Chains A and B, each alone.
Chain A
Amino acid sequence: MPVLVEAERLEKSFGPIVAVDGISLSVKKGEVLGFLGPNGAGKSTTMKMITGFLEPDRGRTRICGLDVEESPKEAKAKLGYLPEGAPLYGEMTPRAFLTFVAEVRGYRGADVKSRLALAVERTGLGSVLEQRIETLSKGFKRRVGIAQAILHDPPVLVMDEPTDGLDPNQKHHVRELIREMATEKAIIVSTHILEEVEAVCTRAVIINKGRIVADGTAEDLMRRVPYHGAVAIRVASERARAVISVLEQHEEVTRVETVSEAAGRTHLRAIPVDGKAIATGVASLLRDKALAVDELFVERGRLDDVFRDITTSEQDSNHA
């Protein structure tokens, strides 16, 4: 798949504050890149540079092979962008606003109508087309912003916190939309909602203090969690000792921890060697030994933990 977005060592300072400190990214067609980081990490600044709104102090960005600074109009023609907070001209109606965007993007006459129809259908704006944007609900405003970004069916889509402030249904709708478009575009979505990464992104990049601190699939990132892939077992306390001794002989189990013990039930956790998938092995082993357990499930790492782990450990090391 061709690489559609290529950012090389972007740097940007505002006075003494270094907002972005050497970020490089590349996004291929079909990829949805989740751009994560705590507030103030430099997400928005990076996106503003990628979309050509801000000139980087150093580094460059190419959209579909076009340098954003050398041929800005051509590059921007390939790009759809939803800025943070989806700013819009409040005094316009969605129809007037989208018509304006379509005309600026070079569509005329019947093409404007068909482009509008498609974007309106995809974002479900039909019922509010003639209302002033400032009177619309937050969810509809966001949809107008998204409609504006996808109007010209761009190969590259950049969205800064597209679901921020939306209710769960609206979030779901936006994610569906992103998933629908994912195969034929390169998409960058910034967020600090981690469930979003698991829901829509094929890859996640975590930045902190203007630098990339992690890059991989959601699965890759979760492997960093200490208990990722561990098998949790709940068993009657009188059988706990037997279970522990059986599991500790299993070659793919590093160790077994006792997490808690209450009301005659013990909660154990078997940690695998190198994050291997051990659930099936453990289950059949226990069955062979005729050790009945109440419950057995695989613990999945939570992205929240990875995020906190990465972004706070970084801070600590900076303080040291």
Chain B
Amino acid sequence: MPSSLETAAIIAKREFAAYFATPLASVFLTIFVAATGAFAFYIGGFFDRGQANLHSFFAYHPWLYLLLVPAVAMRLWAEERKSGTIELLMTLPISPWEAILGKFAAAWAFVGLALVLTFPIWITVNLLGDPDNGVILASYLGSFLMAGAFLAIGSFVSALTKNQVIAFILAATICFLFVMSGVELVQNTLRAWTPGVVAQAVSSMSFLTHFEHITRGVVALPSIVFFLSLIAFALFANVIAVDQRKAA
């Protein structure tokens, strides 16, 4: 019998290929690359800033992910449940953990591929100036980690419903709360109404804050730990959701 990692890898391979079996892959990759570029150049004012860095590029990633990553995650389990293939999958010698890890890994690799395809902007900034490539690499890793957190939440939500649209909206909403929790507006409101600890706790869950920590190259480790633990927690919830709701 194959090991758990092998089984997860076999599932990941199938899932990854499944993205490319529909137009989803090309639509997603095109829009992602085009949108990241457009945000960086037009809205972020990449040229006007006159700085050789990619801050204007990475700053919009949380907002883009809000829309695009739930679209990648929504089919992971909802589709299996809707088409009934979950019955096929879960009666093969596969544990829920292996299936969840495999699916998550495939989705994460897919978003990773989208990130890799933004390399022209990295070439551009290196041609125009002399950026700190260490910071850029860290930012890419931070963005990838944040995408993983979005995906893990999306995968969990996807296991709660047979309807991909519901999965998308729920995941986007939850992710929106995570992104917004660090914004001044939310923080000020919280501080006015609740003890400082609460505002602090909510703020410590903020994707924006943690992502910034990583992209600015300061105190990155706690933020990396934050994203990784959030992924682990969401996947754990995912296992329970798949177990509980597979027959419903």
User: Which residues on A are within 8 Å of B, measured CB to CB?
Assistant: 48, 51-54, 72-74, 76-77, 79, 81, 83-85, 87-92, 96, 100-101, 103-106, 132, 148
Q: Does B22 contact A (CB under 8 A)?
A: yes
The interface centre, meaning the residue of A85, A92, A101, A104 with most chain B CB atoms within 10 A of its CB, is: A104
Partner of A87, one of B1, B21, B84: B84
Nearest B residue (CB) for A83: B87
Report if A48-B2 is in contact (Cβ < 8 Å); known contacts: A76-B93, A101-B92, A103-B10: no
Give Cα distance in the complex from A106 to B4, angstroms.
11
Could you name 26 residue pairs across A and B whose Cβ atoms are closer than 8 Å?
A48-B87, A51-B91, A52-B90, A53-B247, A54-B246, A72-B93, A73-B93, A74-B1, A74-B93, A76-B92, A77-B93, A81-B88, A83-B91, A84-B84, A85-B84, A87-B84, A87-B85, A89-B14, A91-B18, A91-B22, A100-B13, A104-B10, A105-B92, A105-B93, A106-B1, A106-B93
A106: chain B residues within 8 A (beta carbon): 1-2, 93
Measured between alpha carbons, how far is A53 from B21 in the docked complex, in Å? 27
Q: Is the CB of B18 within 8 A of A104?
A: no
- Chain B stretch 84-109: residues in CB contact (< 8 A) with chain A: 84-85, 87-88, 90-95
The interface of chain B, by Cβ under 8 A from chain A, is 1-2, 7, 10-11, 13-14, 17-18, 21-22, 83-85, 87-88, 90-95, 246-247
Question: Closest approach, in angstroms, between the C-beta of B244 and any C-beta of chain A?
Answer: 10
Q: Contacts A88-B85, A91-B22, A104-B92 known; A54 to B1 CB distance under 8 Å?
A: no
Q: Is the CB of A77 within 8 A of B88?
A: no
Please tell me if the beta carbons of B85 and A89 are within 8 angstroms of each other in the complex: yes
A74 / chain B contacts, CB cutoff of 8 Å: 1, 93
Whether B11 contacts A104 by the Cβ 8 Å rule is yes
Give the residues in chain B near A101, CB-CB below 8 Å: 92
Number of A-B contacts (CB under 8 A): 75
Q: Which residues of A contact B90 (CB under 8 A)?
A: 52-53
Min CB gap A230→B, angstroms? 45
Min CB gap A54→B, angstroms: 5
Alpha-carbon distance A257/B148, docked complex (angstroms): 79
Bound-state CA distance A87–B86 (Å) is 9
| Dominant secondary structure at the B interface | helix
Q: How far is the CB of B3 from chain A (nearest CB, A)?
A: 10
Please, how many angstroms separate the alpha-carbon atoms of A73 and B84 in the complex? Answer: 20
Pair B93/A83 contact, Cβ less than 8 Å: no
List the 7 shortest-distance A-B pairs measured between CB atoms, nearest first. Answer: A87-B84, A91-B21, A83-B87, A76-B93, A73-B93, A77-B93, A87-B85
Of all chain B residues, the one with the shortest Cβ separation from A101 is B92
Asked whether, in the complex, the Cβ of A87 is within 8 Å of the Cβ of B83, the reply is yes
Give min CB distance, A86 to chain B, whole Å. 9
CB distance from B86 to the nearest CB of A (A): 8
B93 CB contacts on chain A under 8 angstroms: 72-74, 76-77, 104-106
Q: Which of A74, A83, A89, A132 has the most CB of B within 10 A?
A: A89
The contact of B247 among A54, A91, A148, by CB within 8 Å, is: A54
- The answer to whether A48 and B84 touch across the interface, beta carbons within 8 angstroms, is no
Complex: how many Å from CA A53 to CA B247? 8
Q: Which A residue's beta carbon lies closest to that of B84? A: A87
The one of A76, A87, A92 in contact with B87, judged by C-beta atoms closer than 8 angstroms, is A87
Q: How far is the CB of B90 from chain A (nearest CB, A)?
A: 6
In the complex, which residues of chain A have a beta carbon less than 8 angstroms from the beta carbon of B1? 73-74, 77, 106
> Could you tell me the distance in whole angstroms from the C-beta of A142 to the nearest C-beta in chain B?
13
